[in-house]
């Protein structure tokens, strides 16, 4: 979240005092019809009250009363390949970022490029998701929220992430295999059906559908914008309702 810098406090003090001083000078002149007296009172008042105002602002910045900390959190998107996870997660991330939230975006394609030797067996996938789980838990402890989108097909690795973060939101991006195949412009599903790609989720490998996700986003029924709104509003109500936004 944003904090008030010394420079911003100074500029606010100056702009306010200019307006207030002009008002004071106008009142003095209206009563005494002396421009020199009005100017002297205005300058003296401006200097004194600028100092007082700046000190007042800095003191209040140190006072915790009335401030509510917005907790860090992890929004975890799971679903079949081409269900819409990445697109929706990107939209939610951008909206939260605009709200001033300290937040990090993690996506499977980006993280896998850091670990090119990671395979697609059940054991390797679970190990990979647990690795990401450790990462988001560290970010959360540092006050940085995360929006993560991973197929994460197995219940045990998703549960691992949930147990290792304080504020976890599981978003199940729901779409049938047939729908995902129709969206597949690169023919990955067809290659998997032909056996050219091994351990492909939804075809040659299982996807364990979440039983109790925090949010279900059915991309066969909702538009991208509707899906983004649904997730964003849930996060806002759960974590940000009493905060700044």
Do 81 and 38 lie in one domain? The reply is no
Q: Which candidate, 146, 171, 4, places its Cα nearest to that of 71?
A: 146
CA distance 32 to 155: 81
Tell me, yes or no, whether 78 and 51 share the same domain.
no
Is 152 tagged catalytic? yes
pLDDT at 3: 55
Contact 159, 173 (CB under 8 A): no
Q: Does residue 110 surpass a pLDDT of 80? A: yes
- Which of 52, 19, 20, 24 lies closest to 39, judged by CA? 24
Using alpha carbons, select from 116, 117, 146, 153 the residue that is nearest to residue 132.
146
Residues 55, 147 share a domain? no
Q: Which of 34-38, 58-62, 226-230 has the lowest mean pLDDT?
A: 58-62
Rounded-to-integer distance, Cα 130 and Cα 126, Å: 6
Residues 50 and 108 in one domain: no
Q: Is 230 helix (H, G, I), strand (E, B) or coil?
A: helix
pLDDT at residue 241 greater than cutoff 50: yes
In the chain, the percentage of residues whose pLDDT exceeds 90 is 62
Mark whether 13 and 45 lie in a shared domain.
Answer: yes
Give the DSSP letter string of 81-114: TTSSHHHHHHHHHHHHHHTT--EEEEEHHHHHTT
Give the residue with greater pLDDT, 27 vs 87. Answer: 87
Alpha helices in 142-223 (DSSP H): 155-164, 177-183, 188-193
Handedness of CA 187, 190, 194, 196 (dihedral sign): positive
Average model confidence (pLDDT) for the chain?
90
Q: Kindly state whether residues 148 and 223 are assigned to the same domain.
A: yes
Is 69 part of a structural domain of the chain? no
Whether 14 has a pLDDT exceeding 90, the answer reads: no
Marked catalytic residue, from 83, 145, 152, 157? 152
**Are 124 and 228 within one domain?**
yes
Max mean pLDDT among 68-77, 105-114, 208-217 falls in: 208-217
Report the 10 Å Cβ neighbour count for 146.
Answer: 22
Domain of 232 in residue numbering reads as 74-240
**Weakest-pLDDT range from 36-45, 52-61, 144-153, 218-227:** 52-61
Whole-angstrom Cα distance, residue 139 to residue 144?
Answer: 5
pLDDT score recorded for residue 245: 41
Confidence of residue 68 (pLDDT cuts 50, 70, 90): low
Residue 4 clears pLDDT 70, i.e. is over it: no
3-class secondary-structure state, position 4? coil
Beta strands per DSSP E along the chain:
74-78, 103-107, 145-149, 168-174, 215-218
- The 10s digit of each residue's pLDDT in 142-179 is 999 999 999 999 999 999 999 999 999 999 999 999 99
Please state, in angstroms and rounded to a whole number, the distance separating the CA atoms of residues 109 and 128.
12
* pLDDT band at 41; cut points 50, 70, 90: confident
pLDDT of 120 > 80? The answer is yes
Range 6-27 average pLDDT: 82
For the sheet containing 215-218, what is the strand order? 103-107, 145-149, 74-78, 168-174, 215-218
Residues 54 and 81 in one domain: no
> Do 123 and 168 belong together in one domain?
yes
> Phi and psi for 218 in degrees, rounded to 5?
-90, 105
Whether 86 is in a domain gets the answer: yes
Selected residue with higher pLDDT from 88 and 14: 88
Are 139 and 186 in a shared domain?
A: yes
Q: What's the pLDDT at 243? A: 45
Answer yes or no: are the C-beta atoms of 45 and 28 closer than 8 Å: no
Neighbouring-strand partners of residue 170: 76
- Total domains in the fold of the chain: 2
Q: What is the DSSP letter of 197?
A: S
Q: How many CB atoms lie under 10 A from the CB of residue 218?
A: 16
The least confident of 27-41, 96-110, 197-211 is 27-41
Q: Is residue 55 very low, low, confident or very high in pLDDT (cuts 50, 70, 90)?
A: confident
């Amino acid at each position: 979240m944003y904090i008030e810098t010394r420079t911003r406090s100074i500029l606010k003090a100056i702009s306010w005092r200019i307006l207030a001083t002009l008002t004071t000078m106008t009142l003095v002149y209206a009563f005494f019809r002396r421009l020199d007296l009005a100017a002297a009172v205005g300058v003296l008042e401006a200097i004194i009250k600028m100092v007082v105002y700046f000190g007042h602002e800095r003191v209040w910045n140190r006072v915790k009363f009335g401030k509510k900390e917005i907790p860090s959190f992890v929004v975890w998107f799971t679903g079949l390949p081409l269900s819409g996870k990445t697109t929706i997660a990107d939209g939610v991330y951008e909206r939260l970022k605009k709200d001033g939230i300290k937040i990090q975006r993690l996506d499977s394609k980006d993280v896998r490029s850091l670990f090119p030797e990671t395979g697609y067996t059940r054991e390797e996938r679970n190990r990979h998701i647990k690795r990401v789980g450790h990462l988001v838990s560290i970010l959360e402890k540092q006050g940085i929220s995360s929006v993560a989108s991973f197929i994460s097909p197995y219940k045990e690795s998703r549960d691992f992430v949930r147990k290792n973060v304080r504020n976890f939101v599981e978003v199940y991006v729901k779409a049938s295999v047939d729908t995902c195949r129709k969206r597949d412009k690169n023919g990955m599903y067809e290659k998997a059906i032909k056996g050219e790609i091994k351990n492909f989720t939804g075809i040659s490998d299982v996807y364990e559908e979440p039983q109790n996700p925090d949010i279900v986003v059915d991309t066969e029924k909702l538009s991208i914008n509707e899906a983004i709104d649904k997730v964003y509003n849930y996060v806002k109500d759960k974590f940000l309702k009493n905060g700044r936004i």
